[in-house]
Structure 1
Amino acid sequence: MEDETFDAGEPAELPHDDFRCGLVALAGRPNVGKSTLLNALIGFRLSIVSPRPQTTRHRILGIATSEAGQILYVDTPGLHRGAKRAMNRSLNRAARSAISEVDLAVQVIEANRWTDEDQALYEALVEQKVPRLLAINKVDLSKDKSTLLPFVADLMEHRSFDDVYYVSALKEKGLKDLEQGILKRLPVQPPVYGDDEVTDRSERFLAAEMVREQLMLRLDQELPYATTVEIEQFKDRDDGVAEIHAVIWVERDGQKAIVIGNGGAQLKAIGTSARRKMETLFERKVFLRLWVKVREGWVDDETMLKKFGYTD
């Protein structure tokens, strides 16, 4: 399962002589909307989304194929400062590794906001000498649109981007212009993936992410950051049902009790919501079993991080 890709959508037209294809990093500090933007650009809910920063923990490839080309979007963990724990350092390494191997980078920022973390990412892109576009997201939330042009003018006075695009990932506005700007900067070459593939990730990986999404949405404060999900079994039974066994790992016994909830109510709600999303995505019935286990200090344990898939 781990090496299979997940297919969805209708077939695209066959490539023509000037068909373009390339890797494009969607990069930005935590919580600027990279995952929402990826989902909107590929027309498929691939990356999990929550209001919390650092929801994305893994490099995720989203494939968008059209008659004009195939864009291989790389959704990266948000690059952030003050990474004191091993997992946070691992996420930063993953983000920097991703932008080192792409044909083009799209730095995603929030409208009318440029932070120290935005600047640190910009400097990392300059250091890698990767062509870069600027995507200003959440323009729909900007009450006074007249402030955007002066903001961008000030921004561009001291920084260099090949072009600037104004988008709303949530409202799916401005995406066509951004897509065209990306395509014309990619190399002319045949597609890497089939025209109905949407990611290089397996159903096993996506199942773990959907459980983790519910943890991010349902648990309070810092607890979601002390959890991770490991799929112990994923098999298709003879009756066509996907049977999935997953372990939710936490750092302390008190956290385990919170995840389980009174009489198991919280764990049941997490499992029910995750199962429904899996059934929609995988297009078949799912039997999901969840366990909660304690591994003290897993967030700072490099061996455990590798076991759970946190690699560069």
Structure 2
Amino acid sequence: MKRIYGLLLIGVLLILLSPNLLSDTIKLTNGSVIYGHISREDIDKVIIVDQNGIENSIPRDLILSIDKGLEAKKEVQKVIITLKSGIEVKGSLILDDANSVTIKDETGIEKKIAKSNILDIVIDLDNPNEKPITIQSYEEPETDIETEIVASPAEKTNKFNLGLKIGYQQLNCDILSDRYGKGLVFGGEVILWLHNKYGIGFNVERYSNKSEYDYDDIVRKYEIYITPVTLTAYYKKQSFNYKIIPYFGLGIGQYFLNEEMTDTYWDYYEQWYEASDSETGFHCLCGFQYKILFVEIKYSTMFKSSWGIEGEYDDIGGLNIGGGLRF
């Protein structure tokens, strides 16, 4: 029985790992190598879907060899492409076919450049003595469009995210933690991403909870609201091979406290008290995002204490666990 379980486990691991381990490899006559999955083979061409999800049609006369199911070892080749207009385009070479060259530029955007518009290509930027490798001009007429951006919308380098979040928070202050316990947190955020890697976000949340104590001749009710207004610097590890994207953040903000207490005597006489304060705090966070879904853990702490209904609270920050949607 243990052996059967072991074989099943090995089978599951092979299924999970095989997309990352196995890949088709096409070697071209010009020395370039394309990695991906061959979707169709015709007499005159081979169609391969590369690791960015882009479908490429490769003529047979440009193919040196085809290796199927081999482990792909990427070798990123950096190039400088000089256009006939005098413009230079820098990036990593992705595909070099009969009519065009596709590179990923320094901002992460893929560009497809017609060879009829290319003056020369310099290979190996690390070697200043490298001689330019000139691409032969073809017979196709020149076009006014020198480069075509072929990146998908999901690969935009600068974009906004609008987010909605809900979760629970445990307060740091022992007095508040004993009085209220865990409370509901909800909020919204706006994040500007730069190069699809670094971000700056504006976030507003609201923590709320209630508690009640029944004494001999008095019923005491508490309500608390904490509203953090924060700025966060984000970093996320973006990769085309990852469906789940990890991210991290550090930030600072202002935390607004409002606490109310109501005493009811003999069921007919009430006294009401209220206290408000605000304090500056620091927070750090980490999370994972899958498409528009995300989960996140955030810890916040104050630089100074705050004042509430019954005295001084040393820290109105806490541990926040939640999730939500980002559009």
Going by fraction, where is helix more abundant, 1 or 2?
1
Pick the structure with more strand per residue. Answer: 2
TM-score, scaled relative to structure 2: 0.21
Find the structure with the greater CA-based Rg. 2
Q: Which has the higher contact order (CA 8 A, sep 6+)?
A: 1
